[in-house]
C-alpha cells in the first residue's frame, strides 16, 4: 500500500517531465537512454513507471534528461534538481543509450559523444588549445579520467581510472596511465605509447 502511494506521488511530481518527454525532439534518444538503464540494472518495470523511477531516484539520469529537453528544462528543474557539479557543454551532441553512474564532478565538453557510452564520477572531457574531443560509440570512462584536446577516441574503448589522454586513440583499445598508453588493442596486451 505504501509503495502504491509513493508511486502515485512521484507520478504527480514528475508529470511535467513525462509531458516534455513526449513533445521533445529527442524523445527517441531519451527512450533509448531509459532502455539502456533498464538493461544495465536488470529492471522489470514498464516504460512509464521506469521513467518516473529513474527521475525520482537517479540524479545523473535526471541531469542527462534536462540536457536532452533543452530549453524546457527551466520548467522541470524546480521539481527535481539534477547533479549540481555535473556539466554537459551547451551544443555537445550526446548519443543515445548513455549511462551515467554517480556522475559527480563530471564534465562532458566534447564535439560529440557516441551511443552507449558510460561515465562514472570525476570524468573530464575538455578543451585543450581550443579543441575538444570526439568520442566514438560504446566508450567507457572510469573515475578521474581526463580526455582533452581536438582528438578522437575510437569505438569500444576503455579509458582507465586516472588516465590522462591528449592524443587520439584507435578503436577497441584499453588506455591507462598518466601519461596514457594503450594497454590492450583488440584484446591483445601491447603496452604501446601514444
143-170 pLDDT per residue, tens: 999 999 999 999 999 999 999 999 999 9
SS3 sequence, 106-141? CEECCCEECCCCEECCCCEEECECCECCEECCCCEE
Helices and strands, counts by H and E, the chain: 6, 16
pLDDT at residue number 19:
86
At residue 80, the pLDDT reads 74
Instruction: Report residue 78's pLDDT band, with 50, 70 and 90 as the boundaries.
Output: low
135 Rama class: left (phi>0) / alpha (psi -120 to 50) / beta: beta
Number of Cβ within a 10 Å radius of residue 175: 24
Across the chain, mean pLDDT equals: 89
pLDDT at 164: 96
pLDDT digits (tens, 9 = 90+) for 85-105: 899 998 899 999 999 998 899
pLDDT in tens, 5-34: 777 787 888 888 888 888 888 899 999 999
Place of cell 582533452: 148
Vertex 167: Cα angle to 166 and 172 (nearest 5): 120
The residue ranking higher by pLDDT, 136 or 18, is 136
What is the average per-residue pLDDT within 63-83?
Answer: 79
* pLDDT confidence tier of residue 74, bands split at 50, 70 and 90: low
Q: How far apart are CA 120 and CA 93, in angstroms?
A: 19
pLDDT reported for residue 50: 85
- CATH no. for 84-194: 2.160.10.10
Confidence at 134, pLDDT banded by 50, 70, 90:
very high
Q: Which residue is associated with the grid cell 502511494?
A: 5
3-class state of residue 22 by DSSP: helix
pLDDT-above-90 percentage for the chain: 56
- pTM: predicted TM-score of the whole model, two decimal places: 0.89
Domain coordinates in residue numbering, the chain: 1-82, 84-194
Q: Which pLDDT value is given to residue 1?
A: 64
Amino acid at each position: 500500500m505504501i509503495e502504491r502511494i509513493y508511486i502515485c506521488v512521484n507520478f504527480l511530481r514528475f508529470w511535467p517531465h513525462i509531458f516534455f518527454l513526449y513533445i521533445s525532439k529527442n524523445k527517441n534518444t531519451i527512450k533509448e537512454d531509459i532502455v539502456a538503464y533498464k538493461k544495465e540494472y536488470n529492471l522489470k518495470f514498464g516504460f512509464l513507471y521506469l521513467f518516473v523511477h529513474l527521475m525520482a531516484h537517479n540524479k545523473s539520469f535526471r541531469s542527462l534528461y534536462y540536457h536532452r529537453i533543452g530549453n524546457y528544462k527551466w520548467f522541470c528543474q524546480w521539481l527535481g534538481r539534477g547533479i549540481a557539479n555535473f556539466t554537459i557543454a551547451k551544443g555537445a551532441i550526446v548519443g543515445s543509450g548513455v549511462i551515467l553512474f554517480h556522475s559527480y564532478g563530471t564534465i562532458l565538453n566534447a564535439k560529440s559523444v557516441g551511443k552507449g557510452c558510460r561515465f562514472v564520477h570525476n570524468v573530464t572531457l575538455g578543451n585543450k588549445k581550443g579543441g575538444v574531443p570526439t568520442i566514438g560509440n560504446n566508450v567507457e570512462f572510469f573515475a578521474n579520467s581526463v580526455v582533452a584536446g581536438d582528438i578522437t577516441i575510437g569505438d569500444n574503448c576503455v579509458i582507465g581510472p586516472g588516465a590522462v589522454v591528449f592524443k587520439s586513440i584507435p578503436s577497441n583499445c584499453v588506455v591507462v596511465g598518466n601519461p596514457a598508453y594503450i594497454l590492450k588493442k583488440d584484446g591483445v596486451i601491447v603496452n604501446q605509447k601514444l
